[in-house]
Structure 1
């Protein structure tokens, strides 16, 4: 287990973030969902988490309110963080291209579009 934990730096950015940062937010949210699922049913817990059902209409309310706050505050933060890492990976993959490669591709596109215009006339 210790050797696996030491190799976590070899992971990609998103898995590394999930294991080192997001786990501290994801674990309590999952615990609240499991608690509410056991107390009031899985469908009701899901609906409270997403805000479909008001926590005031659920029983027990104390657990439903905690789950509702987690659904409104923590879940968007987790989803936004994961989306940010995915988007930054896509941007970085495009930035790593050599400038000569980009220029050559633009020239080829320019030539092919001018050839199509000449053929169309």
Structure 2
């Protein structure tokens, strides 16, 4: 009598989610950060801004966040100082990070010579060799 064929068990949604999470490691660092960490930061930033809009008023929360209004002149100065610090630290960091990533990406796209090849060519032209370094 022939043995029954073994059918692999069905993949569960939990295993699929695990495999998807593990496959993110193949992304480069900025993409990995944008997919895994940035959503939590954006949700936190959004919640703080919405809470500021509810407690301080939407216009006042925006003005404190971008530095147009003093936090001490608001109805809830303690929270306004938190929102003001968030505007001072987080917003320029996000803008600077995005700008730096875009500039680096454009430079890498236009690079025609590999960095290792360029370094080797510069060493040859300078008369530097690995064995001459050891003899000194």
Same fold (TM over 0.5): yes
Counterpart secondary structure, 2:90: helix
For structure 2, list consecutive stretches of 5 or more residues without a partner in the other structure.
1-16, 115-136
In structure 2, the partner of 1:86 is 102
In structure 1, the partner of 2:69 is 53
Between Structure 1 and Structure 2, which shows a larger proportion of helix residues?
1
How does 1:1-121 map onto structure 2 within 5 Å?
A: 1-11=17-27, 14-23=30-39, 25-95=41-111, 97=112
RMSD: 2.4
User: Structure 1 43/88 Cα, relative in aligned 2: closer, same or farther at 3 Å?
Assistant: same
**Which region of structure 1 is more displaced relative to structure 2, 29-38 or 71-80?**
29-38
User: Structure 1 86/9 Cα, relative in aligned 2: closer, same or farther at 3 Å?
Assistant: farther
TM-score (norm 2): 0.59
Alignment length (residue pairs)? 98
| Relative contact order, higher structure (CA 8 A, sep 6+) | 1
Q: Which has the larger radius of gyration?
A: 2
Runs (4 or more) in structure 1 with deviation over 2 Å come to 1-31
